[in-house]
């Protein structure tokens, strides 16, 4: 009788790019390895700018050329509409480019606790399949937006 797996497979590209001694040599991740892998992929996704405008991006089906998110540096962290736009774009990007994460919710909030002006925080939650079970994962990721204040030069 076969045993249920309590792991998830390591993506091929991650195995190919692994350096000696990294997780890439393993065929499977445990829960912590899977969450770390997804966090790294989210960081890559959020640090890559798509060539598309926000409107074009939200309508696209996501090709390799569209990887990333639209430039939102001109949006204000103090505007609830701008924060909602960022949330929507990030959620769409995750749906297109991170298939291991399902039931995703993204909320962008102004980060009052940050010492940096224009700092917002993305709260990303979802579920990942680990063997035969779904496991909840949460990520808090800081992002930089405009603070809505223009300074005179």
Residue 5: CB atoms within 10 A of its CB come to: 11
Which token pair is 126?
A: 């979802």
When pLDDT is averaged across residues 61-85 and rounded to a whole number, the result is: 89
Examine the pLDDT at 5 and tell me if it is beyond 70. no
Examine the pLDDT at 146 and tell me if it is beyond 90. no
Examine the pLDDT at 41 and tell me if it is beyond 70. yes
Examine the pLDDT at 28 and tell me if it is beyond 80. no
Q: What is the pTM of this model?
A: 0.77
Cα distance between residue 12 and residue 133, in whole Å: 22
Examine the pLDDT at 10 and tell me if it is beyond 60. no
pLDDT at 116: 61
Q: What is the pLDDT of residues 83-106, one digit of tens each?
A: 999 999 999 999 999 988 999 999
Give the residue ranges of DSSP H helices in 47-146: 54-59, 80-97
Examine the pLDDT at 150 and tell me if it is beyond 50. no
Examine the pLDDT at 130 and tell me if it is beyond 70. yes
Domains by residue range for the chain, with CATH: 8-144 (3.10.450.40)
pLDDT at 137: 92
pLDDT at 11: 53
pLDDT at 103: 94
Examine the pLDDT at 29 and tell me if it is beyond 60. yes
Phi, psi of 127 (to 5 degrees): -130, 145
Torsional sign, CA 97, 88, 65, 39:
negative
pLDDT at 60: 92
């Amino acid at each position: 009788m076969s045993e249920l797996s309590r792991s998830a497979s390591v993506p091929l590209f991650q195995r190919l790019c692994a350096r000696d001694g990294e997780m890439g040599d393993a065929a499977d991740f445990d829960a912590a390895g899977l969450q770390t892998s997804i966090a790294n992929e989210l960081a890559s996704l959020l640090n890559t700018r798509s060539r598309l405008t926000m409107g074009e991006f939200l309508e696209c089906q996501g090709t390799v050329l569209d990887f990333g998110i639209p430039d939102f540096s001109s949006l204000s962290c103090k505007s609830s509409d701008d924060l909602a736009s960022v949330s929507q774009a990030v959620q769409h990007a995750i749906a297109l480019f991170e298939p291991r994460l399902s039931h995703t919710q993204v909320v962008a909030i102004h980060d009052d606790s940050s010492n940096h002006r224009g700092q917002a925080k993305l709260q990303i939650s979802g579920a990942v399949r680990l063997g035969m079970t779904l496991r909840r994962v949460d990520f808090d990721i800081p992002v930089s937006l405009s603070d809505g204040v223009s300074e005179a030069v």
